[in-house]
Amino acid sequence: MGVPIRPLLEGYRHPVGWEELKGVAAIDAHNALYQFISIIRQPDGTPLKDTEGRITSHLSGILFRTAHLLEKEISPVYIYDGSPPDLKQKTISERREVREAGQANWEDALRRGDTEAAYRAAMASSRIDHAIIGSSQRLLDALGIPWMQAPSEGEAQSAALIESGVATYSVSQDYDSLLFGASVLVRNLTVSGKRRIRGKQQTISPERIYLPELLDGLSMTREMLIDIAILVGTDFNDGIYGIGPKKAEKIVREGRFDEVLREKDPAFDPDPVREFFLSPPVTREYRPEWRPPDPEGVREMLIEEYGFSADRISGVLERIAPSRSSSGQKRLDQWF
DNA sequence: CAGGAGTA
DNA sequence: TACTCCTGG
């Protein structure tokens, strides 16, 4: 779910226009896939599937979003998670339980005929499995979009790519990459527009957070921000019961982090978690390469193999790899 | 989520 | 043009 420190970011989440987002976007692949798989569903929660029952929601999401980003002169590179640290095991098993409950609730809601509850439960049942990861990577290859597998957490790798100048910013809905030291985080990198959230219409548009501005504004170090996160809970440790972001901020500012842990959870050693955020396993070798899209490869995969509509695919391909016969449109692949 | 059709 | 609604696989 990511670290719940949103209240601390009030005033630092700046709306940003597409013009300012030109550059290299290091996209948290797991986060993006999860968004697609959980949201791209029919009203009763059924995901898009091909005739063999294989889920295709994520392929639709990647295809159309890629076209959109390239049109905005944004170069995406997808960062996949590698092996999770042992510290994450509890989070992983908790997520599995939530998914299984979601699956059961979905079936229940369908039997009751409660479509809205079915949709919500189906979202919670979403799972990024091997088939989804593999097919997403094949599609990215056909689209000429680079991807890499991080040694460990993708968000940590994204931060390293920014630090070394390979990426301009990190893209995720979660705030973890800030803890890993990503200097720029972009959320809602989607076609802006209105969405229904909890029944209400709300306008969603891209927003940008600068870590240095955040730390300066809060007068704190990244180490302090990490300690706050540890108190409220991260993917790598349980939080302290009854402590939210505001109390955690106060505790850390007053230098009572150790004291509070000694009192509330004496068995817990925060140092491995601190260490993981401050120097996670990452690679410094990777250099992404963007290639022109392979229209025939995309067609073969999506139309022949997964049953996408030829018309829809042709429309997208025309946007990202205009055919020579097309009239007067500017070529978007010219800067590859 | 994103695109497209339908509507005003 | 702007906005709502529906569908995609």
Q: Nearest nt to A189, CA vs C1'?
A: B1
Q: Which bases of chain C are under 7 A from a protein CB atom?
A: 4, 7-9
- The pLDDT score that the predictor gives to residue A25 is 98
Q: With 80 as the cut, is the pLDDT of residue A326 above it?
A: no
pLDDT in tens, A274-306: 999 999 999 999 999 999 999 999 999 999 999
Output phi, psi for A238, to 5 deg: -70, 150
- Give me the mean pLDDT over the A7-14 stretch: 97
Check if the beta carbon of residue A33 is closer than 8 Å to that of residue A171.
no
pLDDT in tens, A203-245: 789 999 999 999 999 999 999 999 999 999 999 999 999 999 9
**Eight-class DSSP state of A269:** -
Residue with tokens 């392929």: A59
| Integer Cα distance of A328 and A106 in angstroms | 49
Q: With 70 as the cut, is the pLDDT of residue A333 above it?
A: no
Answer whether any strand C atom is within 7 A of the Cβ of A65.
no
**Eight-class DSSP state of A67:** H
Q: With 60 as the cut, is the pLDDT of residue A67 above it?
A: yes
Q: With 60 as the cut, is the pLDDT of residue A325 above it?
A: no
- The pLDDT score that the predictor gives to residue A336 is 36
- Give me the mean pLDDT over the A313-326 stretch: 85
| Integer Cα distance of A295 and A144 in angstroms | 10
Question: How many CB atoms are closer than 10 A to CB A309?
Answer: 10
- The pLDDT score that the predictor gives to residue A324 is 58
Q: With 70 as the cut, is the pLDDT of residue A57 above it?
A: yes
- The pLDDT score that the predictor gives to residue A268 is 98
Question: How many CB atoms are closer than 10 A to CB A228?
Answer: 26
Question: Could you give the C-alpha distances from A232 to A1, A9, A61, A63, A127, in angstroms and in order?
Answer: 13, 15, 32, 37, 25
Q: How far is the CA of A235 from the C1' of C7 (A)?
A: 36
Instruction: Name the 3-class secondary structure at A254.
Output: coil
The total number of residues shown for chain A amounts to: 336
**Eight-class DSSP state of A19:** G
Q: Which of residues 4-33 of A touch strand C (CB under 7 A)?
A: none
| Integer Cα distance of A77 and A251 in angstroms | 38
Question: Could you give the C-alpha distances from A273 to A1, A71, A179, in angstroms and in order?
Answer: 17, 40, 11
Q: Which bases of chain B are under 7 A from a protein CB atom?
A: 1-4
Q: Nearest nt to A46, CA vs C1'?
A: C9
- The pLDDT score that the predictor gives to residue A328 is 43
Question: How many CB atoms are closer than 10 A to CB A320?
Answer: 23
| Integer Cα distance of A107 and A104 in angstroms | 5
| Integer Cα distance of A334 and A323 in angstroms | 13
Of A202-206, A244-248, A327-331, which gets the smallest average pLDDT? A327-331
| Integer Cα distance of A80 and A28 in angstroms | 7
Check the annotation: does A19 bind a ligand: no
pLDDT in tens, A113-130: 999 999 999 999 999 999
